[in-house]
């Protein structure tokens, strides 16, 4: 009998040892062992003198979460000890955490290491009040993979109060991230007090209205909106962040995104004409003029900024600079001549280089968006790669430091779930899983070049985010996924394992009153071709328990008694499928809806001549014939996107079919550089080799279509159909994204009788 009890005990214990420790980011090495240490009122707390803030922080956080306040004591047993090793490489932020019968020891080379050990400890004791003070014996060795583990926040489009900024920094610190990129100035508001130029905040911090709803609706309210941080606020926040081992990198945008500054001091624009703080989102043509007076102004501003922020890097923006004003400015022509520059692009490079010289003279470095590569990179500049990863690769090859923030993975203003269930967002489709799948070091770089990749950062632009609750919802949990990408070992990454730990964190986030998104519960659907390309199959997946998926096909919301998903659903007629994931009989997350409209082309073989962008490749070419129309207001999900290239698709209908009309949808969102196609051409063929043109849709009709494009082609009989949607190419001056490649977004090509 004793043997049986001992055996059962061993089995139970082995199982519990294998259970997940709720740690994000996942530590490099975790060695659990049998037993628990219990924190109680007589547990002592001891730290080396140099870790006095960390000791207070731990005690305060413990009190907040458990109601226990520890007393200071250096007893051998029943104590928590924070130790900083002397005479070791203090630059390495590693820590060692040991929980044993004598108590808990966190040892590290520096204060940051101790702080990270504390974050791990807090995550170990936090999740279930009843057990919160019982900590399993464990030994953890841990160290970060990247040195730049960043989160950005745009406080220009919407302003967030000082106390919220501290909460944001707390969240950054909790997940062992260490950079807060504070986007303080833009067209729609200047948010930092500058003593020498008081009008920057008196005038530039206030706008007369704001855009309401989607950009395409062009609706505005007329409420004055604004706010700014005083220099005292900033000092308080910088101190708060520094203690939590978070470096704040301030961003002062130039030469573009400067309308708010120019509303206060129009003399620094080329025209000198009075302007108002921006009320619309997008890119403004009014930018700083590269005059000596402007440089003096910016140097004075940056001097005050550098006094306030001790960071090595100062972000100077550099993105999206329309050249319209510069092209017609005599002063710009003079500067171009004087400095022997080729054009306005080199003028922008001159602008950034001149600012860099000044910033370097103060012992600091500049970092800018990847446009600062154009016309030649400033000698010491670091690059933040946002328009994909190519800018980052180019900069690393030139031996410049890089922070990766490619939109498709790192823009947390994008949709994170099925857009129909989400609050209005700028667009895109960046799920937690997509962020988690991001690898910051491109495999095209050599080992030496890879050293220039400092890390990555999640960006939160706030055009469509006006409240702190909404901001938390967009940031969390995507930032936890990125935190793990940036901290943990690459070979340890496993999404299913991550989400199982993340669900345990939801209790912690609840207790901290952080309004996180539950989009991880949203099911993933994928249409695939049915046998013989006859209709479709709908595959539904979840990283959780697949047997807990329920669905309906009658339009009703699924409940736990609805049909159980056991295998891919055959879709051979137009219908609505709604599906959801359930736990303990309760729906988790939002249901997904897939509205199928079948046509002759649905589920058929399709090939593309030009592959779509890596970031907008949907479910490959098949996305265009998967029976579901993308929502034009919400690009990124269920769309294919090409940058500067045509969509050129050949559909094989399987046999000769009669048809008279082709329908396709294109996105029209100039503010995101997405433009309707120039024209659409339809060709047919009976052998898939020789095609003849049978129909064209003109630019005029396409422009009037608002994206729902119909192409009549008379009565046609054919097996192969080729549809070419011509991309606009380079965007014309005066339009958003001028001079850049236009994006072309297309979905569902339906061929109808
Ligand atoms: C950016 O998103 N314009 C850097």
* pLDDT tens-digit map of 255-266: 999 999 999 999
618 with 640: CB under 8 angstroms? yes
Q: Which of 277-281, 528-532, 634-638, 712-716 has the lowest mean pLDDT?
A: 634-638
* 258: its two tokens: 């400067």
Helix axes 162-174, 111-124, angle to 10 degrees: 90
Helix, strand or coil, per DSSP, at residue 205: coil
Q: Which residue, of 121, 142, 163, is where some domain finishes?
A: 142
Could you tell me the CATH number of the domain that includes residue 76? Answer: 3.30.379.10
- Show Cβ contacts of residue 49 under 8 Å, excluding neighbours closer than 6 positions: none
Instruction: Please check whether residue 550 is in contact with residue 580, taking contact to mean a CB–CB distance below 8 angstroms.
Output: yes
Single out the catalytic residue among 61, 186, 371, 671. Answer: 186
Q: How far apart are CA 35 and CA 182, in angstroms?
A: 44
For 350, the token pair is 């001159």
How far, in Å, from the CA of 46 to the mean position of ligand 1? 46
Please report the atom of ligand 1 found closest to the CA of residue 407: 2
Q: Which of the pair, 732 or 240, is modelled with greater confidence? A: 240
The answer as to whether 567 is a domain residue is yes
Range scoring the smallest mean pLDDT among 149-163, 306-320, 557-571, 725-739: 725-739
At 215, is the pLDDT very low, low, confident or very high (cuts 50, 70, 90)? confident
- Active-site annotation holder among 98, 142, 320, 472: 320
Q: Does 721 lie in the same domain as 609?
A: yes
Strands (E), 340-494: 365-369, 382-385, 402-404, 453-458
Find which of 3-17, 143-157, 412-426 is predicted with most confidence, using mean pLDDT.
Answer: 143-157
pLDDT of 6 over the 90 cut: no
User: Which residues' Cβ are closer than 6 Å to ligand 1?
Assistant: 319-320, 369, 386
Provide mean pLDDT across the span 536-559: 96
CATH of the domain at 395: 3.20.20.80
Domain endpoint, select from 516, 534, 563: 516
Average pLDDT, rounded, for the chain: 93
Whose CA is closest to atom 2 on ligand 1? 386
Residue nearest to atom 3 of ligand 1 (CA): 319
Q: What is the pLDDT of residue 665?
A: 94
Tell me how far CA of residue 27 lies from CA of 92, 488, 668, in angstroms.
15, 6, 45
My answer on whether 324 and 178 are in the same domain is: yes
- Distance of CA 259 from the midpoint of ligand 1 (Å): 16
pLDDT reported for residue 719: 97
The pLDDT of residue 349 is above 50: yes
Q: Quick one: pLDDT at residue 129?
A: 58
Ligand 1 atom nearest the C-alpha of 320 is 3
Confidence check: pLDDT of 367 > 80: yes
Atom of ligand 1 nearest to the CA of 317: 4
If one residue of 185, 287, 315, 461 were mutated to test the ligand 1 pocket, choosing by the most ligand atoms within 8 A of its CB, it would be 461
Task: Please report which confidence band the pLDDT of residue 653 belongs to, taking 50, 70 and 90 as the band edges.
Answer: very high
214 occurs within a structural domain: no
Task: For ligand 1, pick from 183, 316, 319, 736 the residue to mutate: most ligand atoms within 8 Å of CB.
Answer: 319
Assign 3-class secondary structure to 593-662.
EEEECCCCCCCCEEEECCCCCCCCCCCHHHHHHCCECCCCCCCCCCCEEEECCCEEEEEEEEEEEEEEEE
Cα–Cα nearest to 433, from 485, 469, 488: 485
Domain membership flag for residue 373: yes
Together in a domain, 661 and 738:
yes
Q: Ligand 1: distance of its center to the CA of 250 in Å?
A: 15
Total Cβ atoms within 10 A of residue 733: 12
How many domains are contained in the chain? 4
For ligand 1, the distance from its centroid to the CA atom of residue 480, given in whole angstroms, is 22
Q: Is residue 682 part of a domain?
A: yes
Mean pLDDT, residues 559-587 taken together: 96
Question: What pLDDT score was predicted for residue 133?
Answer: 85
Asked if residue 155 and residue 115 are part of one domain, the reply reads: no
Confidence of residue 95 (pLDDT cuts 50, 70, 90): very high
| 534: pLDDT strictly greater than 50 | yes
The answer to whether position 78 is within a domain reads yes
Q: For residues 53 and 68, state if they share a domain.
A: yes
Q: What distance in angstroms lies between residue 319's CA and the mean position of ligand 1's atoms?
A: 6
Q: What percent of the chain has pLDDT over 90?
A: 83
Query: Strand, coil or helix: what is 102?
Result: coil
pTM: 0.91
- Same domain? 716 vs 622: yes
Compute CA distances 314 → 260, 360, 362, whole Å: 20, 10, 11
Q: Among 465, 491, 516, give the residue marking a domain's end.
A: 516
- Whether residues 558 and 508 share a domain: the answer is no
Parent domain of 579: 522-596
pLDDT digits (tens, 9 = 90+) for 102-155: 999 999 999 999 999 999 999 998 655 554 588 999 999 999 999 999 999 999
Give the ligand 1 atom nearest the CA of 461.
Answer: 2
Q: Which of 158, 257, 315, 505 is catalytic?
A: 257
Q: Are 731 and 697 within 8 A, CB to CB? A: no
In ligand 1, the atom with minimum distance to the C-alpha of 257 is 3
Rounded alpha-carbon distances, angstroms, from residue 89 to 92, 96, 110:
6, 15, 9
pLDDT recorded at residue 718:
97
286 with 387, same domain: the answer is yes
Provide the pLDDT for residue 635.
Answer: 64
**683 C-alpha to ligand 1 centroid (Å):** 39
| 369 CA closest ligand 1 atom index | 4
For ligand 1, the distance from its centroid to the CA atom of residue 189, given in whole angstroms, is: 16
Interval between CA 386 and ligand 1 midpoint (Å): 7
Q: How confident is the model at residue 706 (pLDDT cuts 50, 70, 90)?
A: confident
pLDDT of residue 7: 46
Write out the two tokens for 608.
């593309």
Are residues 579 and 619 both part of a single domain?
no
* Spacing, Cα 470 to ligand 1 middle (Å): 20
523-542 mean pLDDT: 91
Query: Is there a domain that residue 120 lies in?
Result: yes
Assess whether 640 and 738 both reside in one domain. Answer: yes
221 noted as active-site residue: no
Do 168 and 40 belong together in one domain?
no
Output 709 or 739, whichever has higher pLDDT.
709
Residue 548's pLDDT band, with cuts at 50, 70 and 90, is very high
Q: How far is the CA of 182 from the centre of ligand 1 (A)?
A: 13
Instruction: Read off the pLDDT band of 2 (50, 70, 90).
Output: very low
Residue 391 and residue 533 share a domain: no
Quote the pLDDT of residue 634.
65
Residue 386 CA, closest ligand 1 atom number? 4
User: What's the CATH code of the domain at 620?
Assistant: 2.60.120.260
Active site residue 186: yes
Residue 32: phi, psi to the nearest 5? Answer: -75, 155
Report, in angstroms and rounded to the nearest whole number, the Rg of the chain calculated over CA atoms. 28
C-alpha 201 to ligand 1 mean position (Å): 23
> Which of these ranges, 82-96, 112-126, 453-467, 694-708, has the smallest mean pLDDT?
82-96
- The rounded Å distance from CA 368 to ligand 1 centre is 10
Under the banding of pLDDT at 50, 70 and 90, the label for residue 720 is very high
Beta strands of 162-266 (E only): which ranges? 179-183, 185-186, 189-190, 206-207, 211-212, 219-220, 225-226, 247-254
- In angstroms, what is the span from residue 219 Cα to ligand 1's centroid? 23
pLDDT in tens, 181-208: 999 999 999 999 999 999 999 999 999 9
Is residue 170 in a domain?
yes
Question: What is the Cα–Cα distance from 259 to 422, expressed in whole angstroms?
Answer: 31
1 falls within a domain: no
530 pLDDT exceeds 60? yes
């Amino acid at each position: 009998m004793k043997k049986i009890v001992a055996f059962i005990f061993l089995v139970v214990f082995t199982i519990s040892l294998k259970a997940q420790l709720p740690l994000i980011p996942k530590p490099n090495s975790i060695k659990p062992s049998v037993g628990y240490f219990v924190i109680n009122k007589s547990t002592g707390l001891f730290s080396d003198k140099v870790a006095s803030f960390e000791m207070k922080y731990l005690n305060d956080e413990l009190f907040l979460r458990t109601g226990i306040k520890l007393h200071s004591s250096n007893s051998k047993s029943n104590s928590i000890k924070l130790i900083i090793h002397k005479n070791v490489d203090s630059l390495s932020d590693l820590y060692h955490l040991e929980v044993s019968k004598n108590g808990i020891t966190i040892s590290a080379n520096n204060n940051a290491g101790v702080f990270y050990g504390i974050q791990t400890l807090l995550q170990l004791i936090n999740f279930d009040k009843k057990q919160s003070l019982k900590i399993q014996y464990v030994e953890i060795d841990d160290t970060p993979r990247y040195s730049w583990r960043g989160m950005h926040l745009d406080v220009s489009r919407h302003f967030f109060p000082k106390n919220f900024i501290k909460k944001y920094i707390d969240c950054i610190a909790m997940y062992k991230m260490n950079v807060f990129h504070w986007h303080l100035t833009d067209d729609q508001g200047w948010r930092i007090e500058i003593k020498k130029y008081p009008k920057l905040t008196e005038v530039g911090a206030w706008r007369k209205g704001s855009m309401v709803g989607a950009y395409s609706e062009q609706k505005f309210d007329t409420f004055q909106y604004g706010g700014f941080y005083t220099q005292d606020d900033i000092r308080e926040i910088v101190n708060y962040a520094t203690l939590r081992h978070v470096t704040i990198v301030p961003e002062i945008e130039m030469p573009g995104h400067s309308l708010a500054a120019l509303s206060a001091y129009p003399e620094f624009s080329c025209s000198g004409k009075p302007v108002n703080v921006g009320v619309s989102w997008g890119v403004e043509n009014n930018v700083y003029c590269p005059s000596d007076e402007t440089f003096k102004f910016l140097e004075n501003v940056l001097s005050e900024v550098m006094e306030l922020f001790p960071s090595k890097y100062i972000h100077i923006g550099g993105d999206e600079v329309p050249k319209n004003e510069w092209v017609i400015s005599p002063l710009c022509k003079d500067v171009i001549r004087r400095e022997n520059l080729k054009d306005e692009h080199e003028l922008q490079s001159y602008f950034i280089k001149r600012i860099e010289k000044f910033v370097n003279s103060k012992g600091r470095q500049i970092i800018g968006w990847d446009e600062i590569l154009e016309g030649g990179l400033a000698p010491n500049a670091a690059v933040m790669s946002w328009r994909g990863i190519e800018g980052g690769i180019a900069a690393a090859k030139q031996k410049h430091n890089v922070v990766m923030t490619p939109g498709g993975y790192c823009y947390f203003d994008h949709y994170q779930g099925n857009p129909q269930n989400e609050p209005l967002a700028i667009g895109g489709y960046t799920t937690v899983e997509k962020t988690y799948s991001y690898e910051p070091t491109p495999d095209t770089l050599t080992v030496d070049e890879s050293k220039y990749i400092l890390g990555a950062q999640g960006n939160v632009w706030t055009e469509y985010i006006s409240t702190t609750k909404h901001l938390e919802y967009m940031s969390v949990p995507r930032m936890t996924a990125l935190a793990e990408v940036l901290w943990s070992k690459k070979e340890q990454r496993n999404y299913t394992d991550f989400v199982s730990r993340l669900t345990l964190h939801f209790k912690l986030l609840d207790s901290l009153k952080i309004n996180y998104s539950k989009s991880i519960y949203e099911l993933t659907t994928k249409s695939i071709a049915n046998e013989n390309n006859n209709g479709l199959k709908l595959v539904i997946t979840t990283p959780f328990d697949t047997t807990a998926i329920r669905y309906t096909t009658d339009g009703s919301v699924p409940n736990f008694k609805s049909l159980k998903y056991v295998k891919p659903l055959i879709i051979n007629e137009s219908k609505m499928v709604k599906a959801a994931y359930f736990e303990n009989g309760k729906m988790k997350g939002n249901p997904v809806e897939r509205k199928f409209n079948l046509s002759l082309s649905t589920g058929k073989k399709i090939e593309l001549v030009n592959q779509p962008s890596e970031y907008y490749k949907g479910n490959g070419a098949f996305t265009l014939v998967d029976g579901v129309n993308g929502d034009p207001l919400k690009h990124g999900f269920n769309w294919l996107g090409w940058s500067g290239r045509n969509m050129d698709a050949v559909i094989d209908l399987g046999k000769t079919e009669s048809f008279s009309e082709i329908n396709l949808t294109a996105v029209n969102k100039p503010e995101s550089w997405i433009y309707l196609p120039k024209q659409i051409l339809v060709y047919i063929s009976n052998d898939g080799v020789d095609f003849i043109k049978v129909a064209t849709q003109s630019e005029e009709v396409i422009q009037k279509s608002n994206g729902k494009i119909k192409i009549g082609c008379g009565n046609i009989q054919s097996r192969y159909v080729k549809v070419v949607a011509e991309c606009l190419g380079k965007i014309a001056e005066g339009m958003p994204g001028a001079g850049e490649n236009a994006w072309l977004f297309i979905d569902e090509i339906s061929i109808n009788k």
